[in-house]
Amino acid sequence: MTRSDSSTWPSGFPRALHQTLLRRLPPKASSVHLEDLVNALMDALARGELQLNLTAMSPPQELKAMGWPEAHCQALLASGWLEGAASPMVLNGNQLSWRRWHGDMDAVIKELINRSNVVQATSICTTPSHHPALLDGLNPEQQAAVEAIDNHGVVLLSGGPGTGKTSTIVQMLARAVTLRPGLRIGLAAPTGKAARRLEEAVRKGLEAIPPTQRQALTSLPCSTLHRWLQARPGGFGRHQQHPLMLDLLVIDEMSMVELSLMQALLSALPIDSQLVMIGDPDQLPPVGSGAVWHQLQQADIRQQFNHGAIHLHQLYRNRGSLATLSRVLCDQGLSAFWQQLSLLPKSANVEQHQCNLSSMPRFLVQHLQEHSRTLQRLTAELMLELPDDAYTSTMLNTNLAVAAESLLDSLERLMVLCPKRRGFWGVDDVHRALLGQSLEAGVMRWPLGTPVMCCENQAELGLANGDVGLVVGQGDNLRILFRVISEQGGLTTRFIHPARLSVVEPALALTVHKSQGSEADHVILLWPEIKAVSATSADGFESASSFERKLLYTAITRARQRVDLVTAMASGRSDG
């Protein structure tokens, strides 16, 4: 991908930054190599990465100077930009970073390590042997995670899809309320979608624990981190002077939490509050700068959490070739992934389709049209049952709420993902192909059952950036049906007039970044880059960035059952 595909900076911003540095901190020896380093660091920040590996196999794109990385390192050392507390950059080994973010990340990691050593007081005298039922059916890794809740102020629980993270969380919570009755517990995630998934998963998991613990955990409040922190323009309502009143906070999807949000959380969470963080270290870093979770996965940092850092390996969910390819991608890289994909039988639950990049693949259009017809039919059936006042109030009627939940659940049958928003096979390209002229006309003209995304946090409506609903009704009665988090922290369904939504867009397709925290039975991934891999050659793959690998991994792990990966063909006939 080019810089324009991945960067969140305005055009020309890195160059302007470089010129500013030249004026304010004139280097001892100026060189075009320094401009390359500024550009590369800004590209890394746009990907959520605070550090630039100067000895990576692949050099940054669009270098202006030759000799990467030796000549660039020599220019940096000669510039004086690494000297003194006022210098703009820090070089640790082969890792280059901006001094500001390096210091902030270092402070966050140190505070988490210090918090991990805060001993948790128990209300009753107990040992693991007193509650063997809570460890039944757990593997040794899961048991270690459950027991870590006894003594560690911070617990890191990492693992990929299907490794039993949710069931482990439930058992950890059950043990916590056994050791400390009356514990004030909160559940959180970075996005509304992820928070709802966490709340639903925990609620289902409670069926597997004893009645006493189940009762204590039945109504746990669950919300986004922004809502917990009472986000507002210019800052947060919760902070050191107005802290969160929680004894234990569980955060899922930690890979999406960026540095500034983590700083705000630590400011608002009392030092004696326990923190359990869960995530997949192989997923994409957050859109904002500072991948805290990925930093915490470094071996030397994990060691400082001792037995409070647990990684789950054993798979419990049968995901077929999806699981195999995910591990190949993480352990062996992109080249091995594409080669393994080409060897899969037709019966596998992952299949590659090579199509002509100049047009929208027929395979995709057919599946999306079929999915849209299903959503339209289910939406029309729901509308027949709605009372006159349904469009103006939260749905309280149990039967209607069940029907609305069923309709929203149908969204998770298919998810179409794109690596980028613009260009061939981008999100905008998919929406133009499916919605035609009605796309530009706005939400009031989109067909019944069209998936719609809320693109800004709107806490007053219970919505978060990335929440997806459906167009229901027509004309003056047109509303968007969302599943939202209520003021009490539970889930409910609500009709919201489009005029109350700050920014909306269709959600027939999503960028991979926007899909984080979501799952679907079937994922169709458009991958426009041409990947030609033979059994004897893997040209270009070993030099591909870790960002591209994480992008692909995040996309395919959104699928519960099946992935169809649509790639561009170099020449010849298309099968799409």
pLDDT in tens, the chain (576 residues): 333 344 456 678 888 889 999 999 999 988 899 999 998 888 877 776 778 888 765 667 778 889 888 999 999 999 999 998 889 999 988 889 888 888 899 999 999 999 998 866 654 444 444 454 556 678 999 999 999 999 899 999 999 988 889 889 999 999 999 999 999 999 999 988 898 889 888 988 898 888 888 888 988 999 899 999 998 888 899 999 999 999 999 999 999 999 999 999 999 999 999 999 999 999 988 876 788 999 999 999 999 999 999 999 888 776 789 999 999 999 998 999 999 999 999 899 999 999 998 899 999 999 999 999 999 999 999 888 887 776 666 555 666 777 888 899 999 999 999 999 988 999 999 999 999 999 999 999 999 999 999 998 887 888 888 899 999 988 888 999 998 877 665 678 888 999 999 999 999 999 999 999 899 999 999 998 744 433 333 333 333 467 889 999 999 999 999 999 999 876 444 445
385, 457: one domain: yes
Give the pLDDT score at 1.
38
Give the pLDDT score at 292.
93
Please answer whether residues 279 and 243 qualify as being in contact, where contact means their C-beta atoms are separated by less than 8 angstroms: no
Q: Note whether residue 389 is domain-resident.
A: yes
Give the pLDDT score at 8.
57
Give the pLDDT score at 391.
67
- Measured from the Cβ of residue 538, the count of other Cβ atoms closer than 10 Å reads 18
Q: Which of 312, 343, 370 delimits the end of a domain?
A: 312
Contacts of 365 (CB under 8 A, 6+ apart): 433, 434
Give the pLDDT score at 86.
87
Please answer whether residues 152 and 310 qualify as being in contact, where contact means their C-beta atoms are separated by less than 8 angstroms: no
Bin 454: left if φ > 0, else alpha if -120 < ψ < 50, else beta: beta
Tokens 């660091």 found at:
41
Give the pLDDT score at 329.
93
Q: In what order do the strands lie in the sheet with 185-189?
A: 222-224, 185-189, 248-251, 274-279, 154-159, 309-312
66, 212: one domain: no
Contacts of 541 (CB under 8 A, 6+ apart): 333, 334, 335, 338, 531, 533
Q: Note whether residue 574 is domain-resident.
A: no
Give the pLDDT score at 44.
79
Give the pLDDT score at 387.
77
CATH number of the domain encompassing residue 299: 3.40.50.300
33, 107: one domain: no
Q: For the chain, what is the domain count?
A: 3
243, 384: one domain: no
69, 108: one domain: no
Q: Which two tokens stand for residue 23?
A: 């004026």
pTM (two decimals): 0.84
Q: Which two tokens stand for residue 536?
A: 């004897």
Q: What are the helix (H) ranges across 153-210? A: 165-179, 192-205
113, 73: one domain: no
Contacts of 306 (CB under 8 A, 6+ apart): 116, 152
Q: Note whether residue 573 is domain-resident.
A: no
Q: Which of 280, 312, 344 delimits the end of a domain?
A: 312
Tokens 């990925």 found at:
294
> Any idea how long the chain is?
576
R_g over Cα of the chain: 25
Q: Which two tokens stand for residue 311?
A: 């990684």
**DSSP assignment string, 546-565:** HHHHHHHHHHHTTEEEEEEE
Report phi then psi at 555, rounded to 5.
-65, -50
Which of 193, 130, 138, 124 is CA-nearest to residue 166?
138
Q: Note whether residue 1 is domain-resident.
A: no
What beta strand segments (E) does 252-301 contain?
A: 274-279
300, 361: one domain: no
Give the pLDDT score at 493.
84
**DSSP assignment string, 93-140:** TTEEEEHHHHHHHHHHHHHHHHHHTSPPP-SS---GGG-GGGGTT--H
Q: Note whether residue 205 is domain-resident.
A: yes
76, 153: one domain: no
- Measured from the Cβ of residue 240, the count of other Cβ atoms closer than 10 Å reads 10
Tell how strand 154-159 and strand 95-98 pair up. unpaired
44, 141: one domain: no
359, 440: one domain: yes
173, 284: one domain: yes
Task: Please tell me the distance from the alpha carbon of residue 190 to that of residue 170, in angstroms, as a whole number.
Answer: 19
**Angle of the 13-24 helix axis to the 32-46 helix axis, nearest 10:** 130
Please answer whether residues 268 and 240 qualify as being in contact, where contact means their C-beta atoms are separated by less than 8 angstroms: yes
Please answer whether residues 341 and 350 qualify as being in contact, where contact means their C-beta atoms are separated by less than 8 angstroms: yes
141, 78: one domain: no
Please answer whether residues 65 and 304 qualify as being in contact, where contact means their C-beta atoms are separated by less than 8 angstroms: no
Q: Note whether residue 528 is domain-resident.
A: yes
Domain holding 410, by residue range, is 353-538+562-568
Task: Please tell me the distance from the alpha carbon of residue 388 to that of residue 376, in angstroms, as a whole number.
Answer: 20
Q: In what order do the strands lie in the sheet with 504-506?
A: 491-496, 479-485, 468-472, 451-454, 504-506
Q: Note whether residue 319 is domain-resident.
A: no
Task: Please tell me the distance from the alpha carbon of residue 113 to that of residue 311, in angstroms, as a whole number.
Answer: 17
Task: Please tell me the distance from the alpha carbon of residue 305 to that of residue 472, in angstroms, as a whole number.
Answer: 49
Please answer whether residues 169 and 200 qualify as being in contact, where contact means their C-beta atoms are separated by less than 8 angstroms: no
Q: In what order do the strands lie in the sheet with 414-418?
A: 350-355, 559-568, 520-530, 414-418, 510-511
Q: Note whether residue 304 is domain-resident.
A: yes
Give the pLDDT score at 545.
63
Give the pLDDT score at 426.
94
Q: Which of 261, 287, 312 delimits the end of a domain?
A: 312
